[in-house]
Amino acid sequence: MRAASVDQARPADAIVVLGAAQYNGRPSPVFKARLDHAAELYRRHDAPIVVVTGGLAPGDRVSEAAAGQRYLVAAGVPADSIAVQPVGRTTAASLAAVAAYLHGTGRLRVVLVSDPFHLARLRLDARHVGLVPFTSPTRTSPISANRGLQLWYFCQEAAKLPIVLIQDLVS
C-alpha cells in the first residue's frame, strides 16, 4: 500500500506510461488520466522522452500505445519525444518491450506512470527486466475516485505480488 501513496517522480531517462483500454483510438478515462500525468511530468522536464505501452486487444485496430501517442501529441508533447511500444497485453510483457528498447539507448532510469494500485508490482516487474524504476501514481483516475473499485484492484494486485516475488527469486 505504501507504493501506492508515494510519488517518486524525479529526473530520469524516460517516463513510461502503462497502457489501459482504448476505444477505436480514443484512450479510456483511466488511460487519459495516466497520459495526462505523464504529459505533466514531461512538461516539468522529468525526462526527455515518454514511452507509451500497450498492444492490441482482440478486435482492436489501434494499439493502446498508438492511441496514447496520438493523445500525447494532441496534448502538446512533441512526437519526436514519444516512443511507442505497441507490444504486450500484460504488465510484464509491456515492460519487457520497454526494457529491450531502453537498453538499446542506454537509458535505464524510468518514472513509471500508472494507477496507485498497480505500482508495487510494476516496480518489481521493472527491476526484473533490468530497469531502475521510480513510480508516480496518477491521482485523477476514475478508479481512485471509487473506493470499492479501488479496493477490488488492490486485492487483485495483492494476489499477483507473491507470484512476481517468487519469479524474482527463481531467476
Least confident of 6-15, 16-25, 96-105, 142-151: 142-151
Q: How far apart are CA 49 and CA 106, in angstroms?
A: 13
Residue 17: strand pairing partners = 52, 113
Cβ atoms of residues 150 and 143 within 8 Å: yes
Backbone angles phi, psi at 17, to 5 degrees: -105, 120
Q: How far apart are CA 3 and CA 7, in angstroms?
A: 8
pLDDT average, residue stretch 7-33: 95
Q: How far apart are CA 15 and CA 53, in angstroms?
A: 11
For the segment 52-64, what is each residue's pLDDT rounded down to a tens digit? 999 998 888 999 9
Percentage of the chain modeled with pLDDT above 90? 62
pLDDT at 158 over 90: no
pLDDT for residue 43: 98
pLDDT for residue 58: 85
pLDDT average, residue stretch 42-68: 95
Q: How far apart are CA 122 and CA 104, in angstroms?
A: 21
The grid coordinates of residue 134 equal: 521510480
For the segment 94-151, what is each residue's pLDDT rounded down to a tens digit? 999 999 999 989 899 999 999 887 788 899 899 999 999 999 999 887 677 767 666 6
Q: Is 39 helix (H, G, I), strand (E, B) or coil?
A: helix
pTM of the model: 0.85
**In the CATH hierarchy, which top-level class contains the domain 2-170?**
alpha beta
Label residue 40 exposed, middle or buried (CB < 10 Å: 0-12, 13-18, 19+). Answer: middle
